[in-house]
Each structure stands twice: as structure tokens, then as C-alpha cells.
Amino acid sequence: MRLITSPRRFFAAIVPLALVLAVGSTPSAVVATDGPPPSVDELGRPLIRNSGQAYLNAGLPVAARVADLLRRMTLEEKVGQMTQAERGAVTNDATLVTTWRLGSVLSGGGSVPTPNTPTAWADMVDRFQAAALQTRLQIPLLYGVDSVHGHGNLLGATVFPHNIGLGSTWDPALVRRIEHVVSEETRATGPQWAFAPCICVARDTRWGRTYESFSESPWLVSQFASAIEGFQGSNLAATDRVLASAKHFAGDGDTEFGSAAGDYTIDQGITVTNRQDFARIDLAPYVPAVRTYNTGTVMPSFSSVDWTEDGVGNPIKMHANRELITSVLKGKLGFAGFVISDWEGIHQLPGDWATQVRTGVNAGIDMFMEPNSYQSFETTLLDEVRAGRVSQARIDDAVRRILTKKFELGLFEKPYTDRTHLGEVGSAQHRALAREAVAKSQVLLKNAGGLLPLKKNAKIYVAGRNADNMGNQAGGWTLSWQGASGRDRIPGNTILEGIQQVAGSVTYSEDGSAPTAGSDVAIVAVGETPYAEGFGDVGGPLWAYDPEDAGVPREPKSLDLQPADQAVVDKVCGAVAKCVVLVVSGRPQVIPPAQLQKIDALVASWLPGSQGEGVADVLFGAKPFTGKLSHTWPRTAAQEPINTGDPTYNPLYPFAWGLRTSP
């Protein structure tokens, strides 16, 4: 998911609307057992009125309940269920949820209530839910959010390593445990739906979404489809489970550099391939996602596919690709959930607005993420159905799929937020799991002379801009779409703080200007600053629209270390006898041979999230280094795209490389 094309307009529209939502913070009310059932709970929120309708009989099979409800619905009500609006578009007037019979609302990156607390989130979602229950048939609302490495929009949530780090653990069971925690923190605060996991196969690390990919290997990514089980469990109605969304279907990590439209260089570009290779690489993770883990939803990619069988030059946008969405995903793979478009995904299709709507629906998309155009979407789709250009059968299929998940989530029995686990958001237990994940994600690339693990009584000199910057180590999709730098951006521990908890003598100088005399070992943390999607493309556009940026564009994205990073490595590693370099980044960074010679130990730390002490655990031997590269580490940027199995494969560090230490 992404924000709109003009980020300025997004923040101008959303930020002022982040109001305190005055709804009580107690759990859902219990219906009285004496006398007629009440129409509202003790907070004045509407309750579902059960007067014998079959669809409200929890004892009936879900399919029977869906059939009964579908039979009662008007076309307008069905189209409403297919529509998702952004919270900013309905926050000032929640009755819009009722009027337009919305099936879903989402929070885009950085779209949050004020204050940004667990209780305020639950209150906000319940306020929208109350509006949904004012509709004639009282169909509950689905609320979606990008819980891509934790419930990242929420201040205080546990923020886990991004997928590139989790992929380097080679531990699908760990990822299953992580996503269970993420689902618990997400649902406790209201949302019942996570736009995750991303099961893309990133084949070119110049892509700005590389850190969202578990691996360049379709086999390894397929193993991490276990994330879906972590989100959904075996009972979607449980208070600690959410609906998952496998994304982005399909080929988003396999697009060609230079094929993207606009200012992007690779994101939302074109996958040029044949059907056999597409199935082997890009479709492979969707097989276990659908057949083994029964993902509840699938999100199409912004990218296109251009089949070489019929000649290159006629790409098809994935949001328009009926062959892949309907014939392959729903047909061949047997996907029984529903397809949710990406952010205004159909707006990129050829033709006028009516053609875009018609094409998307007929391709097989069931729900449409129309953050600010939801009203126009509904009226246009109604016109298309009435004109016979979209069949009633296609509408019924879409709505049947959506309603099935709402029943499975238990929303008709318990529409409001169950706050049982609210106090566990960001808990010590959850942060301990994040710390474990950080330690297991660290990849030891070089360890000359067995320098690591370090002795706790050594005199440590710490430098580099990513040593004490929580925003940089968390990356994008943290409190906002693009994320932002900042030492105290989210609760947790920076890498420096983790080191200080262990080592007895620590000197810190971000730029290496403090005297190094007497230091035994230097630890220099360098790498990238936050970005997301196409703004992270190498050679892509700069970002200056986050309020925290104060209008200053962010640094250009590159596979090479930034000049200041190279300078601090040279300075500190040239002055201290033993030197450890941590690369805190969303993808491999090129280390020139001359610089590599000055580095005794090199660690890929990726984007560890809120618990930087997990890095210290492996540096000082509390935990062993066990991580292995999930993405090839190139010698030069010119080698990209480079992937394991290539005929001329000659990287600096190959796929699956990782030195081990003993605790």
C-alpha cells in the first residue's frame, strides 16, 4: 500500500483531521438477558438487532449465513461492501460510513488518532463501527492497517525487524511467533486486518521495497508464508488474530530497472518474463500462502507483467490482469478469500474512470482501496452494473467473499474491539521476542582473527549516524509511510543503548571526532536513512513531505555507502586497532575493497526495529551469530540484478553466507 501521488495533499488532508475520538474505552457490552434485548450498549453504541434473521444465527454454517444476508442486500449495499475509504475522509463525519454503507476503512501510513495511544485507536475503530451498525442490515466494518513489521502506525507498539532481517534468520517458526504478537497488538487496538505479509521475491536490491522482501529466493520466501498462520491462526474470531493479506500479487520484486513510470526507477515497473519463469519465481510463494495457510486476502501489485511469449511491449497492469487474478489465483490456486486493491490501484489503469472501475472489477478485484474517491467509486460502479458492463454475478461473488471473512472474524457476534490484550501492547514479553529476532537476524559477513564476540571489559568506541538513531534503525513504515530519522522516535533501545547495557567502558561520537586514544575496539554503525516504496528506489525521487522533514529533501538512495558514512568508517577504523562495522540498512550496501581491508568484522544489521539491544547480544556473545544472507551481497552496484543461480554469479558475499560464533 502507498499514499497518494502528491504527499503534500495527503498530509494537508489527514493531519488536521487527527482528532480525539470521544468513545468509551471499556470492552464491548454484554447484551442483557432479562426483557427485550437493548438496541444500544452502556456507551450508547448500537448493538446488532437480532430478530430471527438467519444470518445472525451463529449456529448456522458461515456459507448459509452469507447466502441469507446476500439475498437481503440491495445493489447499493453490495457495492458499499466492496468499498474501502481512508479514515481521514470520514473522521470528521462518521455518518459517512453509514450513508455510503462502507464495507471497510483503513489507516494509511501516518494516519492515526490523537493521541496516538492504544486506547485512542480502539475508540476510533469503535466509533466507525458504531456508524456501520446504523445501516439497515448492520453489517460490521473491517478496519485495515499496515502492520508490516509490527503495528507500526501506533506509538508504543513493538517494532520488529523488517522482512529482509527476518528472512536472514532462516526461521519460519520464529516469524510465525512474531506475527502472532503483531496480530495481538493490532486487534487489541481495533483493526481486524493487517496488510501483510509481503511475500514478494526481490530480485534487484535497487528496488525501494527490498527490505519488505524475505528473500531473493522463491523457495525461502515460500517458507516464510508461515507469517500468514501467525496472523490468522486457526480461529480468526480469536481476540489475538487478524485477517492477513498476501502481497503484492504478483511479480512486484521482479520488475526491470528503468521500467517504472514517473520518477520511480523500478517500483511499480514492469516484470518482463515468460509464464514458466513467472510461475517459478513470482507465483511460487502464493501456492503455500493460499493452499497451506489459507490467506484471507490478497493484494495485487502496482506493477505490470509483459509476457515474452507474445513479444515485449504490451504490458498488463496487475490490477487489470484477469488471467492472473481470476484464472490463476482464484481458479488454479483455489483462493477462497477476497482480493483488495492497493491504494488507488485502479487509477493507474488505461481509460477513463468508468473504464478503470469496470476493468478492475471484471479482472477479479473484490474490494477497492479508494481512500478519498470512495463516493465516486460507488456511484460509478452502480452505473456500470445497471448498464450491464459489470454483471450482478461478479458483484455477488465479490460480496460473498467479503462477507465470509467478516463472519469468520466473528464481527457479527462481537463487532466492537475486545480490549483484553490492550495492556500487552509493547509489553516486556513482546519486546523480548523482538530482541530475539534482532539477534537471530544479524549476519556476520567478516570476522578477521575471530574478533567477535567482544569482551565486555574492552574499551569500546562507538561511532556512526546509525548507532544512536531509533528512526534510522526502524526504517520506513514506522509512525508514518516513509518513516523518519530521530533518536527518540519510538520507545525501545538504540544500538548504542544496547551496547552501553553490556560494556563497561563506552565512548560515543557520531562523527568520530572524539579522541580515540585508549580504545580497544571501535563499533561503527552506518547505512541508510528511512524510506518506503518508490522513494527508496536507487536513483528515485527525493522525499521532503513528512512534517518531520521541514521541507528538506532526504538523501539520494544508493547501493553505495553515503560519503559521510564512508568518511567515518575510514576515520575511526584507521585510528582504532580493531574495528567492527555494522551496516544498518534495508538492503546490502557496497563496501569498496580498500575500505573492507580496514574492517576487521562486518555485520549486516538490516533494520532491527525497536530493540537495538539484540545487536549487542551477538556482538558481546550473549547470543551466537546464526543469521545467513537472504539476499546476495554484491561487490558493486553494477552487478545488480544479481541472484543466486545466475550463470556469472560472483558476489562479495553469496546468498546464504553467514559466519557463526559460539555464545
Pair type for strands 338-339 and 459-463: unpaired
Encoded amino acid at 226, one letter? S
C-alpha cell recorded at residue 632: 546476495
Burial class (CB in 10 A: 0-12, 13-18, 19+), 397: middle
Encoded amino acid at 151, one letter? H
Does the annotation count 533 as an active-site position? Answer: yes
Cis preceding linkage at 248, omega within 30: yes
Secondary structure of residue 459 in the 3-state scheme: strand
Q: Are 168 and 606 in contact (CB under 8 A)?
A: yes
Give how far Cα 306 sits from Cα of 194, 262, 266, 282, 487, Å: 30, 19, 15, 13, 44
Catalytic residue among 86, 185, 533, 537: 533
C-alpha cell recorded at residue 105: 476503512
Tell the residue number behind the cell numbers 567515518, with chain if given. Answer: 568
* Number of other CB atoms surrounding residue 404 within 10 Å: 18
3-state secondary structure 624-637: CCCCCCCCCECCCH
Give how far Cα 34 sits from Cα of 27, 38, 53, Å: 21, 10, 21
Q: Are 392 and 384 in contact (CB under 8 A)?
A: no
Does the annotation count 352 as an active-site position? Answer: no
Calculated CA dihedral for residues 332, 334, 338, 344, nearest 10 degrees: -20
* Cα(333)–Cα(327) distance, integer angstroms: 9
The secondary structure element, H or E, covering residue 83 is: strand 83-86
Catalytic residue among 342, 370, 378, 528: 342
Name the residues annotated as catalytic.
342, 533
